[in-house]
Amino acid sequence: MTHAATANTSAQTPLRIAVLVSGSGSNLQVLIDAMQAGALPIEIIGVISNREDAYAITRAKDAGIEVAVLSHVESGKRMGIKTFEAHANEQLVAWQPDLIVLAGFMRVLSGSFIDNAPAPMINLHPSLLPVYKGLDTHQRVLQAGDRHHGCSIHKVTAELDAGQVLTQAVLSVDINDTAERLQSRVQKLEHKLLPWTILLLAKNVLSLEVDSTSSQATNYLPTLPLQLLITS
């Protein structure tokens, strides 16, 4: 088989994705819609929710996607992170994804879970990393008087929100912005950034390899992160 044929075959094979969620799942919905429209070469093979009341579960089930609810509250008792991780790992190993996407997943995962996961993991975060890791990012942007804000997609590593940034989308903070308004504006950017990033990964334009410059496919591409300048 020629090199070109190999590349062609892999381009047609959908990227098998598992998505971890905790809330509304609007980003999951964007991926479902793009998959169903044939706009993204992906197959969402399963969704894991750590909350039983997450609306994301309804979105996944409506699309016929398998869902594992590993609720952090079981009979009024909090499921410890180790128990959650053991169940989640078992489920992911059974699904065999190519990529694990944290889309609004709000539990901090341990280094050993990340290292033992059957696929690389990316996370969507509502700030221009490396600034504003953690929670309340919109409020903190306003308090600091920043002119720009946005969202990032990064590789997940043991250190919270600190893995290599893959892509970012940026907006200008305006005088009428409140934390709620910024959240809504940033989410509109997320709905574009996430499918774009997954498309770039599926097409091997972006790589999750440790040394992305060593790959023949990526050594002529721009230095990461890519900034997607999207206006809303």
Contact residues: ligand GAR, CB under 6 A: 21, 23-27, 56, 103-104, 124-126, 151, 187, 190
- Please state the closest distance from residue 192 (CB atom) to ligand GAR, in A: 13
Cβ distance to ligand GAR smaller for residue 19 or 212: 19
Q: How far is CA 92 from the centre of its chain?
A: 15
Cβ distance to ligand GAR smaller for residue 99 or 212: 99
Task: Give the HSE-up count for residue 144: Cα atoms under 13 Å, Cβ half-sphere.
Answer: 13
- Rounded to whole angstroms, how far apart are CA atoms 62 and 30? 14
- Rounded to whole angstroms, how far apart are CA atoms 28 and 47? 9
Is the distance from CB of 189 to CB of 181 less than 8 angstroms? no
Cβ distance to ligand GAR smaller for residue 185 or 207: 185
- Please state the closest distance from residue 186 (CB atom) to ligand GAR, in A: 6
72 is catalytic: no
Catalytic residue among 72, 125, 149, 191: 125
Radius of gyration of the chain (CA): 18
- Please state the closest distance from residue 216 (CB atom) to ligand GAR, in A: 33
Cβ distance to ligand GAR smaller for residue 54 or 212: 54
**Residues annotated as catalytic (active site), given as ranges:** 125
